[in-house]
Amino acid sequence: MPTETVTRNIFDGHGILSPLGGLGYAAVHQNSRWDFDDPRITFYYSLTYILDGRCHYTEPGGKSVIFSPGDLFFCFPGIPHRIDPLPGEQFSEFWITFEGPMFDLWRSTRLIDPNQFALRLEPIDYWFGRFEGLFANVRDDQVGQLMLIGSLQSLLAEAMSVQSRRVTDPDEIWLSQAKKRIEDVLRADKLDLETIASTMGMSYPNFRRKFAAVAGVPPGRYHTQILMQHICEWLTASHASNKMAAEWFGFCNVHHFSKRFKEVVGVSPSEFRSRVEVGSMTEPPSPSLQRRYPPHRPSDYPNGTIDK
């Protein structure tokens, strides 16, 4: 694994500021890491957009958040912090610094807030291109800085507007990341919560305890609920049999599938079908679902799932 940080500089403001402030630097850091041990305190704001890998944001006061590709977060003047790769990992980031009265106003009105300091922006290539595009053909004077401030504010406002909900509390950010890993497991027999816990930097008992406390439901049950949502969508648009559904979604047998379905949905699969207008398909209702749930041999389903 490379140990040196590789930097691609995108913009240098050369210390030029407008009366409203300005942008200082913009760069991409591959294998980003700090070469000192203490927290950093800055006089400027910064924006970090994670392009690849994961990093660990910490503050001496105890705040601790793991950020993944697609996460954007702000750092604030006067607040000591560190940003480090997770042990044994590396990450790449797009980084911008900015300062001045205009951004102080954003902070004082809580448009950017140290307690609510993260956004989720995907697809990464699109948003990275938008941010990098801010620095094309920039004038090297105060007018250029005023134009940059306006462009950055407009883009940040757009980024905030596409958030379904501003997930900025550390526990909520953690839960969002944990849910994403669970939701990516699209079969009941493939759920490995111990591995997921490990990727979150936790033992399984601590992971289960925290997930249940923050989400209000154990992680295994949450996974079952997500699977049942997909199964209901499929059954609504198809004449698929219980056996087909059990095999497709990785339940060990039809009886186990039907039991789990009734526990979560409240009715049996047969009664559910009787309550909806069923279509004519015998395959998942969309190409995207078909890609997500590829057919497997019945021998691939030795075990069902439990609420771990």
**CA pair distance 249, 188, nearest whole angstrom:** 6
- Cite the DSSP H helix spans in the chain: 101-108, 124-132, 142-161, 170-183, 193-199, 204-215, 219-236, 242-248, 254-265, 269-275, 287-292
pLDDT at 278: 44
In tens digits, the chain (308 residues) has pLDDT values of: 556 889 999 999 988 999 999 999 999 999 998 888 888 899 899 999 999 999 999 988 788 899 999 999 999 999 999 999 998 899 999 999 999 999 999 988 888 888 888 999 989 999 999 999 999 888 889 999 999 999 999 999 999 888 764 445 678 788 888 988 998 898 999 999 999 999 998 999 999 999 998 888 899 988 988 888 778 777 766 677 888 888 889 998 999 999 988 887 777 888 877 765 444 334 443 433 443 433 333 333 333 333 44
**Domains in the chain, start-ordered, CATH in brackets?**
6-168 (2.60.120.280), 171-300 (1.10.10.60)
Residue pair 301/258 in contact by the 8 Å Cβ criterion:
no
For residue 238, list its beta bridge partners: 281
